[in-house]
Amino acid sequence: MTAAEQWAAELRAWAIDQRILDAAEDDPYDLPPALFAPESPSEHEPSHLHEAVRAALPPDGSVLDVGAGGGAASLPAMRARTTLHAVDQQAGMLRALEASAAEAGILATTYEGRWPDLAADVPVADVAVCGHVFYNVADLVPFVRALTDRSRGLVAVELTDAHPWVRLAPMWQEVHDQTRPEGPTVELALEVLAEAGLSPRVHERVRAPARRTGELLETWVDLTRRQLCLPRARIEEVRELMTRHPAGARRLVTVTWAGAGR
Ligand SMILES: C[S@@+](CC[C@H](N)C(=O)[O-])C[C@H]1O[C@@H](n2cnc3c(N)ncnc32)[C@H](O)[C@@H]1O
């Protein structure tokens, strides 16, 4: 089995049982834009991704952000006169990004749809960024090739050490009495990149768990409830589960390579 096949198989293993999905009140896959805002409290530590983007971005340059969410991977790295092309499959994320870009005085164009399906509709940029999207992508090689083709300078990707749903595994075990997968991991992602002919630079640091308060904390608890496929009436049980199974520190990995676009 190739690393790319292994990656796809490990992602498939996260599929939620149909009977649990059918009984869920809310979509467990829908992400709230508020948790992915560029200045959310979880983003206060210095970011190697932003530093890499800033260093590679010419004064009038352009950034392509794929799976942009609210723009957390790109907007904080941009300056006046640089432009942003943001791709996401979730319209609500793009509306939030447009508002943040307008506030920061950054000219942003948004593209709603799935990467790499709409890659040909998006201009080649000086830098392509992709933050916390790989674990959503079963067919990683064409996704990565399109990123490389749509950047004439740098491609910069950020991801955590393992699939973000790994944090839910002990809670899922208690609620649904099912063992969840432990991967895929960033190491497997790097093997897939090697198979695709890339030799990226890799930078790692340890990120402390986010300290959310107020409305953001409530949004985070509610997202966990939805991801556990529990009804709204069981929100206090989710809060208690999260206290007993707190999120730990994670390795945050930045992977960069040269773009091939013209
Ligand atoms: C976890 S969020 C990360 C958002 C942002 N990049 C950040 O670093 O905060 C992942 C985002 O990628 C989007 N996404 C996932 N797969 C995608 C694909 N194949 N094409 C376009 N958007 C995708 C989701 O809709 C979501 O907004």
pLDDT digits (tens, 9 = 90+) for 147-168: 999 999 999 999 999 999 999 9
Short-list 89, 214, 99, CA closest to 143: 89
Decide if 234 is inside a domain.
Answer: no
Is any atom of ligand 1 closer than 6 Å to the C-beta of 136?
Answer: yes
Decide if 129 is inside a domain.
Answer: yes
Angle subtended at Cα 39 by Cα 33 and Cα 43, rounded to the nearest 5 degrees: 100
Short-list 95, 51, 45, 42, CA closest to 71: 95
Q: Provide the pLDDT confidence category of residue 44 given band limits of 50, 70 and 90.
A: low
pLDDT of res. 39: 65
On the question of pLDDT at 41 being above 50, the answer is: no
Q: Write the CB contacts of 85 (distance below 8 Å, at least 6 apart in sequence).
A: 62, 63, 64, 65, 108, 109, 111, 122, 123, 125
- Percent residues over pLDDT 70 in the chain: 97
On the question of pLDDT at 190 being above 50, the answer is: yes
- What are the φ/ψ torsions at residue 15 (nearest 5 degrees)? -50, 135
Rounded to the nearest angstrom, the distance between the alpha carbon of 35 and the centre of ligand 1 is 12
Decide if 238 is inside a domain.
Answer: no
Output the domain CATH number for residue 79. 3.40.50.150
- Percent residues over pLDDT 90 in the chain: 92
Is any atom of ligand 1 closer than 6 Å to the C-beta of 93?
Answer: yes
pLDDT digits (tens, 9 = 90+) for 126-148: 999 999 999 999 999 999 999 99
Decide if 98 is inside a domain.
Answer: yes
Task: Give the range among 24-28, 42-46, 79-83, 95-99 with minimum mean pLDDT.
Answer: 42-46
Bridge partners of 109, per DSSP, are: 85
Task: Give the range among 43-57, 101-115, 163-177, 220-234 with minimum mean pLDDT.
Answer: 43-57
Q: Provide the pLDDT confidence category of residue 31 given band limits of 50, 70 and 90.
A: very high
Atom of ligand 1 nearest to the CA of 65: 6
For the whole prediction, is pTM greater than 0.85? yes
Decide if 223 is inside a domain.
Answer: no
Decide if 128 is inside a domain.
Answer: yes
Decide if 28 is inside a domain.
Answer: yes
Is any atom of ligand 1 closer than 6 Å to the C-beta of 156?
Answer: no
Which of the pair, 97 or 41, is modelled with greater confidence? 97
Is any atom of ligand 1 closer than 6 Å to the C-beta of 67?
Answer: yes
Decide if 79 is inside a domain.
Answer: yes
Chain mean pLDDT for the chain: 95
Number of domains in the chain: 1
Q: Write the CB contacts of 126 (distance below 8 Å, at least 6 apart in sequence).
A: 56, 57, 58, 61, 62, 63, 151, 152, 153, 154
pLDDT digits (tens, 9 = 90+) for 58-85: 999 999 999 999 999 999 999 989 999 9
Q: Provide the pLDDT confidence category of residue 40 given band limits of 50, 70 and 90.
A: very low
pLDDT digits (tens, 9 = 90+) for 209-241: 888 999 999 999 999 999 999 999 999 999 999
- Domain of 148? 3-163+178-208+248-258
CA atoms in the 13 A half-sphere facing the CB of 64: 28
- Please compute the mean of the pLDDT values over residues 86-98 and round it to a whole number: 97
Is any atom of ligand 1 closer than 6 Å to the C-beta of 115?
Answer: yes
